[in-house]
Structure 1
Amino acid sequence: MVDRRLRWVSFVVALIGLGAAGYLTYTKYAHDGICGVSGGCTVVQTSTWSELVGIPVSVIGVVGYVAILAALLAPQRLELVRLGLVVMTGIGFLFSLYLMYRAYITLEAFCPFCTTSAVCQTLLFLLSTARFVRGPDLPALVPAGEDDDEPAVTTA
């Protein structure tokens, strides 16, 4: 039951991250990176580090969050799916650390949407790692005779 709760928390966090990355993608294309929320957003969105090989990092974020959501919807009993979540969120976490360094230290700018995404990636990495280490929830064992579908077996 604990794993199911952590999975749903992960799903909600990934949706929040997708919203932040989606908004940044929208402002990048619709307003040339100019964000009406904070001047720091504009500085970050128009910087050299706002793109990776010509692709806006916000688009990479959207793709990453969609992949994480898809993995969260996949059957979680497969260890490979759970390990994939750790790897994806780990890469996202490390990339977010790098981008936060560039935003705060190099550019001396604060973008609330970038920060939201970085916090989401950090939480997703922690949650997916905890879920992987803990393992999937196992079905509860019901003693014979307590299950309505099976009669009790007695030995003489």
Structure 2
Amino acid sequence: MRRLMSIVAILAVCGVIVSSVSLQHHYATSKTEYCDLGETFNCDIVNRSEYSSILGIPVALIGMLGYAAVAGLATVYRERRDTPALLLGGALAGFAFALYLTYIEGRVLGAWCILCLSSLALITSITPLSFVVWVRSRD
């Protein structure tokens, strides 16, 4: 189980990094060429839309904090008895949130953010691993 937790932690740190870049992009005043590949793949459209913040808090910051919490659970609090359940709950919440944001990208904005899709891939990987950790902790 220690190895699974290490993999979750590494993926979560990658999530913090991706979310940090996305947060910087959210506040950037100039166009970022590496993430804007036309109308279909355009981080500017997504990261500066009305959906990029919730109650004034950038979605990227929420992602950073969520991934940091997952990384913390998978490392610092790895030995606590309630960690597997908390980890799974956090991963499921993050996955649901990422699916909602992906729906907004595709159906409402009509543009995809490469950073957001990277984050979706990370949380999609973290979630089943967290489930396995939770199942194994019950044995």
Task: Give the TM-score normalised by structure 2.
Answer: 0.88
Gapped regions of structure 1 (runs ≥ 5): 138-156
TM-superposition CA deviations, 1:82-106 (whole Å, max 9, x none)? 1110111110000000000111221
1:75 to partner: Cα distance: 4.0
Alignment of 1:98-113 (within 5 A): 98-113=100-115
Fraction of identical pairs, as percent: 28
* Poorly superposed stretches of 4+, deviation over 4 Å: none
Moved more, 4-13 or 55-64: 4-13
1:18–1:65 Cα contact (<8 Å) kept: yes
Counterpart position of 1:146: none
Give the corresponding residue for 1:50.
Answer: 52
- Deviation at residue 17 of structure 1 after TM alignment: 1.0
User: How far, CA to CA, are the matches of 1:109 and 1:33 in structure 2?
Assistant: 18
- Contact persistence 1:24–1:113 (CA under 8 A): yes
Larger relative contact order (CA 8 Å, sep ≥ 6):
2
Alpha-carbon distance, 1:136 to partner: 7.7
Paired positions, count: 134
Name the counterpart of 2:94: 92
Question: In terms of mean alpha carbon deviation, does 69-78 or 57-66 score higher?
Answer: 69-78
Query: 1:11 maps to what in 2?
Result: 9
Which is richer in helix?
2
CA distance in 1 between partners of 2:78 and 2:66 (Å): 18
Q: Which amino acid aligns with 1:132?
A: W
CA distance in 2, matches of 1:56, 1:10: 24
**TM-score of the superposition, structure 1-length normalised?**
0.79
Q: Aligned residue for 1:154?
A: none
Q: Which runs of 5+ in 2 are unaligned?
A: 37-41
- For the pair shown, which has the larger CA radius of gyration, 1 or 2? 1
CA-atom RMSD in angstroms: 1.8
